[in-house]
Chains A and B, each alone.
Chain A
Amino acid sequence: MARDYLYFPGCSLKATGVAYEESMQELFRILEMPLRELEDWNCCGATSYMAIDEESAFQLSARNLSLARQNGNSDLMAPCAACYLVLRKTQDYVKKYPRVHRHVAASLESAGLPMMDGVKVRHPLEVLYNDVGLEKLESKVVRRWRGGPVACYYGCQAVRPFTEVDRAHNPIRMDEIMKAVGVPTVDYSLKTKCCGGALTGTIHDVGVRLNYLLLKEAARKGANAIVTLCPLCQFNLDAYQVEIQKESGESFDTPILYFTQVLGWAFGADPRKLGFKRGIAGRKLLKQWFAEHAEVEQYV
C-alpha cells in the first residue's frame, strides 16, 4: 500500500496559488501517492508575522507541527517555500534556543497539544526527487513537451539555511527533474535571486524591477517559460508583466508555471485539473504549445 503524504497548504495554496494545489493533487494522484490535507491548520507564521512578532510566529508554526505529530505522521509536506522555511526555522530555533523552546512548549501545553518532536518538514520537489526518483519520473512521461526550453527558478526561501530542498548556491534538482521528463532547461544564473517577495506591495518599483531582471535574463538565455516552486515567486513574476512591459518598453508574455503543472502535463493528467487557466501571462504561448489537444480552449 502506498504511503500517504500529509500536507500543509498554507494561505497561498488556497488563494493566489490555487493552481499549485490543484496541479500538485493531480500529480500525486497520478504517481499513486495519496495526499491528505492537515486538518485544522492555521497560518504558518511566515514573513511578515516572523518579522514583526517572532514569538507568536513560532507558536503558530509550532501548532501546525504539533497537529501533524498528533496525526501520527512523521512527514509534513509544505509546498509553499515560505511555509516550508518557517516550519523548519521553528524546529531549528526550538532545538537551539531554550527560551524559544520554553515559550513554544508552554503555549502548546495550554492548548492541550503535544510537543512537536520528530516531524520532518518536506517540500514536494525534494519528495519527488528523493522518494520517487528521476528514473521513475522519466518512466511516467506520456506527453511530449512542445514549449521549448524553460528556466528553473528556485527563489530564495527553499534553499536557505534550515532547508533540505537542494544545495544553497547552485540548486539543480528542478533542472534535473525537468530534463528527466523531456523539458529542456537553460543555465539560468538568477535561479536563486530575489523575486521581490512582498516588496511588490510595499516598495513597488523596487519589487517590480527585480521581476523585470528575472524575466529579461530568462528570455536572454532562450527560455520560453519560467518554472517555479513557490507561490509568491509565481505570483510576482506572473502578475506584473503588463506593468513591466509598459515601464521598460520591452515586451514580455512569459508563462510562469509551477513545476507540478509541467510534470502533471507530461504525465498525461487531465489538463483541466492543472490550473493553467489561473495564470495571467503567456496564455497565448501555452495555447500554441498545447494546440494538438482538442480541448485546449477549455483549460488554458
Chain B
Amino acid sequence: MFEQNGSVRIGVYICQCGTNIAATVDCRAVAEAAAEFPAVVVSRDYKYMCSDPGQSLIQQDIKEHQLNRVVVASCSPHLHEETFRKAVAVAGLNSFYMQMVNIREHVSWVHANRKAATLKSIDLVRAAVRRVARHRPLERGRVNIHPDVLIVGGGIAGIHAALTLANAGKKVYLVEREATIGGHMAKFDKTFPTLDCAACILTPKMTAVKNHPNITLWTYSDVSRVDGYVGNYKVQVTRRPRYIDEDLCVGCMECIEACVFKQPKFSDEFNLGLGKRKPIYIPFPQAVPPVAVIDPEQCIQFKSGKCKKTCVEACGDRKAINFGQQEETREIEVGTIIMSTGFKTFDPQRIPYYGYGHYPNVYTALEVERLVNASGPTGGEVICRDGRKPKTVGIVHCVGSRDERTNRWCSRVCCMYSLKLAHLVKEHTGAEIFNFYIDIRTPGKGFEEFFQKLLNEGVHFIRGRVAEVTDWALDPSEENKLVIRVEDTLSAFVRRIPVDMVVLSTALEPQEDAQDVRRLFNIGCSTEGFFMERHPKLAPVSTFTDGIFLAGCCQGPRDIPDTVAQAGAAAAEALALIDAGHVEIEPNTAFVNEDECCGCRTCIPMCPYSAITVNEIRRIAMVNPVLCKGCGTCVAACPSGAMQQNLFEDEEIFEEINGVLSYA
C-alpha cells in the first residue's frame, strides 16, 4: 500500500468510449495536455477504459511507474466509479486515490464544438489532477447486520414476507395494529380473475404465521419508537390491552355466547358495520390469533363496574379474561424492517352526489365483498339495507380515482374487482348489472379474458363518468329506485338508469396515518402520500433509509399477485443483507474537527438523517458515520468550519477549483 508520504505520482487515463467521447473530444490531445501537468507520470487515451484490457492497462502502469494516484476521464461516476475504484485496489492502491472526470455526460454529449469540448475536458482533467494529489487514503467502514427482522403490518404482504423469511430460518417479529392479521384480503370473498376463495388461500397462511417457531406475532400492537440504523434498529412496540390473556385463551367463544348482551348490538368493524357484534368478540371465525377482544367502550364492566361477568364464569378455570390488563411495551433489536402497512379505501362521502351515506342502498365495493361472502353478515345473500333483493345493480367505477377533485391516480385494482363483483352479484341474485366505466383497464394475466367472459355473461357496460346517483323519479318505472344519471359517451346522450343497488368502486388511498408512520421510520412519501421507493424501476422495494423495505399497497395500489411478488422481493432484499452479515458504508462522511467545534448545535437540525448528536460533557458535535449519507449540509452550515467531509475537505475542493480555473 502506497502512503501519502513521498512524491505524488499520477496516471491519467482518457477514455474514448468508442465514439461516444472521441467523436466530440480529441482524446489524444487531452492525454497529451495532461502529460504536462505537475506530478503526472503517465497519460494515455484508450478506446474503452472500463473494459478488461483498459483496466489492466491502469493496473500495469501502477506497478511499472509506481503510480500512487489515478485520474480516469470517462463517463459519469454513477456508472463506473466503483469499477475503477476496484481496479486500482486490485493493483494495491487505496480506492480513494482514484478520481473520476465526467467528459461524456458533462462534455461530449452536451457540446457540439470539438475544439471547445476538448479544452473543457483538459480543464476538468487538470482540476482532477490537482485535487487527487490532496486525497487521503480512506477505508470503508463495516456495520454488522442483526439477523432479526421486523415486519410492520399483517396483511397478505406482511404475512408472505414473514413466512418467506421465517422459512429461511430468520427470526421475524410481525406487528399488526388490528386484533387479527389478514388485512383487507381477509375481507374479500373471491379473488380475480380465477375466482378462488380469498379465505381458502389466505387463512392457511395466517395459521402458518401463528404456528411458525421463527415468527413472533404481536397483534393489537403499534410500533411506537424506532432508533438506530441499518443492521441495528432498536424498536419499541406498544401492545394495547385486549383484556384477554393471549396465552390462556383457546378461542372457544364461550365467553361471547355468555356475554350479558344476549344479542350482538355494536357495529361490527370486520363487516364494515353491516353486521353486529358483542362487546367481547373475535373479529371473524378464522381470525389469527383466535383470541377474543373486549371493547372497553362498550363492555358494562368497564363502563359501570357492575356487570355480572358471565363471560368470566363461562371461561371458568382457564381464567383468560383479565379486566386489569395494561398496555405493555416491548423493546426489540432488529437488523432490517419491512413496511407492509397497506392502504385505506376512499371515503365516498367526499363525493356527495353519489349519495353514499344518504341513500341506504348505495354501497362501497368492500361492503359488497362482505355481502356476497358466505360468512358475511347476511350469510352470502345479497340483501340491501332496506331489505330488498336487488333486481338491477349499477357498479360505478373510478370513485375517487382518476379525478382532479379527489385523487389523480388510477387505483389499478378497481376495474378488475368491479368485474368480479359484477359476476358474483349476478351469480347470487340473477340481477341485471350495469358497469359505468371511463376505461376498462385489464393489464394482467387472464384479466382481459375475464372481461370477455363478463361480456358474454350479459353484464352491461356503459362508458361515462357517473354524474349523480339520485332518487328523483321522472316516471313510474323510477319510483323507489336509485337513478344513475350518466353521459353515455359512446352513444353520445345522457342516460337515466334506475337500479335497486349502487356499488361504488372506491379508490385505494394511503393510510390515514401514513405521514406519522413515515416520520417514525424516517422514510419518504411521494406526493400522493404512498411510501416512496428508492428507485421506481431499479430499487422498487428499497427506501432511502438503508435496511427498510416496502411491500404491498403502502407503496402504491396493486393487486394480490403483485403484492405477494413484492413481499417476496422485500424479504429477499432483507435476506441478502442478513446473509452478507454486514454492510460496507461509504467513507465520504462528515467528521468534526474537535478543536474547532464550539457546540453551537447549528448542524443538528440541518441533518436530514439525524446523524449528528452532541456530546454533552465535551460540548462538541459528533457524527454517526453509519447514519451520515455525505450530503454536506452540515459542512456548509457550520459557522466555525469545524465540520468537514471526507473526500470533500476544503483543500481538496479549493485545489479542484484552482485547477479548473487556471487556463494552460
Task: Say whether B544 faces chain A, with CB atoms less than 8 Å apart.
Answer: no
Query: With A167-B352, A169-B352 in contact, do A189 and B471 touch (Cβ < 8 Å)?
Result: yes
Q: Is the CB of A189 within 8 A of B470?
A: yes
Residues of A within 8 A of B353 (CB): 169-170
Q: Closest approach, in angstroms, between the C-beta of A219 and any C-beta of chain B?
A: 11
In whole angstroms, what is the CA distance A220 to B483 when docked? 15
Interface readout for B345-363 with A: 1 if CB under 8 Å, 0 if not?
0000000110000100000
Residues of B within 8 A of A213 (CB): 474
Task: Say whether B109 faces chain A, with CB atoms less than 8 Å apart.
Answer: no
Which residue on A lies nearest to B473, using beta carbons?
A: A220
In whole angstroms, what is the CA distance A48 to B352 when docked? 31
In whole angstroms, what is the CA distance A37 to B44 when docked? 91
Residues of A within 8 A of B470 (CB): 189
Q: Closest approach, in angstroms, between the C-beta of A280 and any C-beta of chain B?
A: 25
Task: Say whether B2 faces chain A, with CB atoms less than 8 Å apart.
Answer: no
Residues of B within 8 A of A169 (CB): 352-353
Q: Is the CB of A170 within 8 A of B473?
A: no
Q: Is the CB of A217 within 8 A of B352?
A: no
Q: Is the CB of A189 within 8 A of B352?
A: no
In whole angstroms, what is the CA distance A187 to B471 when docked? 9
Number of residues of chain A lying within 8 A (CB) of chain B: 9
In whole angstroms, what is the CA distance A36 to B352 when docked? 38
Q: Is the CB of A170 within 8 A of B472?
A: no
Task: Say whether A13 faces chain B, with CB atoms less than 8 Å apart.
Answer: no
Q: Is the CB of A170 within 8 A of B352?
A: yes
Q: Is the CB of A217 within 8 A of B358?
A: no
Q: Closest approach, in angstroms, between the C-beta of B122 and any C-beta of chain A?
A: 51
Which residue on B lies nearest to A168, using beta carbons?
A: B352
Q: Give the one of A167, A189, A217 with max B CB within 10 A.
A: A189
In whole angstroms, what is the CA distance A38 to B289 when docked? 71
Within 8 A of A (CB), among B421-468: none
Residues of B within 8 A of A189 (CB): 470-472
Interface readout for B465-494 with A: 1 if CB under 8 Å, 0 if not?
000001111100000000000000000000
Residues of A within 8 A of B358 (CB): 170, 187
Interface readout for A176-200 with B: 1 if CB under 8 Å, 0 if not?
0000000000010110000000000
Q: Is the CB of B352 within 8 A of A190?
A: no
Residues of B within 8 A of A167 (CB): 352
Which residue on B lies nearest to A213, using beta carbons?
A: B474
Q: Closest approach, in angstroms, between the C-beta of A193 and any C-beta of chain B?
A: 8
Size range of the chain B interface in the assembly:
under 10
Residues of B within 8 A of A217 (CB): 472-473
Q: Give the one of B353, B358, B472 with max A CB within 10 A.
A: B472
In whole angstroms, what is the CA distance A163 to B471 when docked? 27
Residues of A within 8 A of B473 (CB): 217, 220
In whole angstroms, what is the CA distance A71 to B542 when docked? 64
Interface readout for A40-72 with B: 1 if CB under 8 Å, 0 if not?
000000000000000000000000000000000
Q: Closest approach, in angstroms, between the C-beta of A223 and any C-beta of chain B?
A: 13
In whole angstroms, what is the CA distance A299 to B513 when docked? 60
Residues of B within 8 A of A187 (CB): 358, 471
Which residue on A lies nearest to B474, using beta carbons?
A: A213
Interface readout for B232-264 with A: 1 if CB under 8 Å, 0 if not?
000000000000000000000000000000000
Interface readout for A115-137 with B: 1 if CB under 8 Å, 0 if not?
00000000000000000000000
Q: Closest approach, in angstroms, between the C-beta of B354 and any C-beta of chain A?
A: 10
In whole angstroms, what is the CA distance A220 to B472 when docked? 9
Which residue on B lies nearest to A169, using beta carbons?
A: B352
Which residue on A lies nearest to B349, using beta carbons?
A: A170
Residues of A within 8 A of B474 (CB): 213
Q: Closest approach, in angstroms, between the C-beta of B181 and any C-beta of chain A?
A: 38
Residues of B within 8 A of A170 (CB): 352-353, 358
Which residue on B lies nearest to A170, using beta carbons?
A: B352
Within 8 A of B (CB), among A87-144: none
Which residue on A lies nearest to B470, using beta carbons?
A: A189
Residues of A within 8 A of B472 (CB): 189-190, 217
In whole angstroms, what is the CA distance A187 to B472 when docked? 10
Residues of B within 8 A of A190 (CB): 472
Interface readout for A155-175 with B: 1 if CB under 8 Å, 0 if not?
000000000000101100000
Q: Closest approach, in angstroms, between the C-beta of B527 and any C-beta of chain A?
A: 24
In whole angstroms, what is the CA distance A119 to B100 when docked? 64
In whole angstroms, what is the CA distance A167 to B353 when docked? 12
In whole angstroms, what is the CA distance A167 to B472 when docked? 20
Which residue on A lies nearest to B472, using beta carbons?
A: A189
In whole angstroms, what is the CA distance A167 to B351 when docked? 12
Q: Closest approach, in angstroms, between the C-beta of A19 and any C-beta of chain B?
A: 28
Within 8 A of A (CB), among B347-397: 352-353, 358
Q: Closest approach, in angstroms, between the C-beta of B400 and any C-beta of chain A?
A: 15
Within 8 A of B (CB), among A196-245: 213, 217, 220
Q: Closest approach, in angstroms, between the C-beta of B495 and any C-beta of chain A?
A: 17
In whole angstroms, what is the CA distance A189 to B474 when docked? 12
Q: B-side interface residues toward A, CB under 8 Å?
A: 352-353, 358, 470-474
The 10 A-B residue pairs whose C-beta atoms are closest, nearest first, are: A169-B352, A189-B472, A170-B352, A189-B470, A169-B353, A217-B472, A189-B471, A190-B472, A220-B473, A170-B358
16 A-B contacts (beta carbon < 8 Å): A167-B352, A169-B352, A169-B353, A170-B352, A170-B353, A170-B358, A187-B358, A187-B471, A189-B470, A189-B471, A189-B472, A190-B472, A213-B474, A217-B472, A217-B473, A220-B473
User: Apart from A170-B358, A220-B473, what are 9 other A-B pairs with CB-CB below 8 Å?
Assistant: A167-B352, A170-B352, A170-B353, A187-B471, A189-B472, A190-B472, A213-B474, A217-B472, A217-B473
